Amino acid sequence: MSESISSLPKRLTSLDAFRGFAIAGMLFVNNPGTWDETIVPHQLLHSEWFGCTFADLIFPFFLFIVGVAMPFSDAKKRESHVPYWKEILIAARRALLLYFFGAFLKSASLNMPVLHFGILQRIGVLYFIVFLLLRLEVKWQWMISAAMLFVWWAILAFVKGPGVIPGSFLRDVNSAQYLDSFILSPNDKETIISMIPGISTVLFGVIAGKYILLRQMEHGAKGDKDGGQDRKDDMSVVRTLLAFGAAGVTIGLVWNEIVPLCKILWSSSFAVYTAGWSCLVLAVFYWLIEVKKKTAWAFPFVVFGMNAITLYVATGLFVRWIMLQWKVEWHGLPTSPIGFFYKTFSEVAGPVAGSLLYSTFIVGLGWLLCYWMYRRHLFLKV
């Protein structure tokens, strides 16, 4: 970005709220009272293989948000004259910390030290890769995003191996899982090879973030001159996000006819489709918060968003070490705290509502932790 950064905007509250919405959604879908598919609503379960539910959108939301935030963070460091080599070290430290926290969570769940490749590890690696591409011109970032999707299609279409059907997206016979088998343990679900299209997902967020940053800086400069600048610039951001969001969703659905939507493989159609939904959701948050200045409703999400990584780690440990392993009595029979609360809620409201109430209960506990930290200005960042 060659433009002046002397008129940097304040923190983007709509992005914090979107991040909080994503972390709340993650807690909700990851903590049902039961995993019985006949009880939990379909949209709150991950697709078995093909397709895309609300639960499948959560992780792409996170990656897109990481991308949107990067230009703002970089602009602040440039304004503070932080040397680029130091920025690289900071980015590397963040990536390593994310990988460490992810490995720690996995080790805690297995009660043994492991370096399995999971959600946080994937975010950390993708963050660092895209950071190295952050200062390229937007046209090059578009080209790299498209290239990554094409390379991913080529790998699936042409790589051969034992038991592989070239061009297949079916479970266990595609080239992505075959290549991953040389690197990952059989229990790993988050693939390494599929980080290739994951780069595109983060870059789509970077492109959106650069556009929002530029328009906000232009708006701030005009405001300084005439003191009465209207909200046309902000509405242009909303319209652009809506347009790209609608285009992404449409292209993803059309592409799905050839390249099926698949989260595990992070198929090219899935990358474009979920980036479209990310743009649409961000547009809604941006319109309500930055344009209409309606912020009260978003406060719970902002509280979540200010300590998202802390909440992810804390709730992961809480569920694994307490809710799954402790034993309590329910009607004289031993059960886990999860079973106790789910069965109690189900007795009152039925199994479906009972599962939803348990999910809400976990989200509420997480929010209380984040609110306690928010009130004390404790914002733990990596």
pLDDT, tens digit, 9 for 90 and up, residues 6-21: 456 677 899 999 999 9
- Tell me whether residue 300 is in a domain: no
Average pLDDT, the chain: 88
- Collapsed DSSP state (helix, strand, coil) of residue 330: strand
Is the pTM of the predicted complex or chain greater than 0.85?
Answer: yes
pLDDT of residue 41: 94
- Tell me whether residue 330 is in a domain: no
pLDDT, tens digit, 9 for 90 and up, residues 41-62: 999 999 999 999 999 999 999 9
- Distance CA(289)–CA(298), nearest Å, equals 8
- Tell me whether residue 50 is in a domain: yes
For strand 328-330 and strand 333-335, is the pairing parallel, antiparallel, or unpaired? antiparallel
- Tell me whether residue 329 is in a domain: no
- Tell me whether residue 303 is in a domain: no
Give me the residue label for tokens 């652009």.
240
C-alpha count within 13 angstroms, C-beta hemisphere, residue 72 = 19
- Tell me whether residue 113 is in a domain: yes
86: its two tokens: 């130091």
Give me the residue label for tokens 């348990």.
358
pLDDT of residue 59: 95
Residue ranges for the chain with pLDDT beneath 50: 1-6, 226-228, 230
- Tell me whether residue 255 is in a domain: yes
- Cβ neighbours of residue 300 under 8 Å, at least 6 residues apart? 20, 24, 367
**Residue range of the domain that includes 278:** 13-295
- Residue 262 main-chain phi, psi, to 5 deg: -155, 115
pLDDT, tens digit, 9 for 90 and up, residues 232-272: 678 899 999 999 999 999 999 999 999 999 999 999 999 99
114: its two tokens: 């492991």
- Tell me whether residue 210 is in a domain: yes
pLDDT of residue 222: 61
Measuring CA to CA, which residue among 303, 317, 309 is closest to residue 367?
A: 303
Name the domain count of the chain.
1
DSSP element (H, E) containing 329: strand 328-330
pLDDT of residue 207: 97
Give me the residue label for tokens 């009660």.
111
- Collapsed DSSP state (helix, strand, coil) of residue 33: coil
pLDDT of residue 321: 86
Q: Letter for the amino acid at 244?
A: F
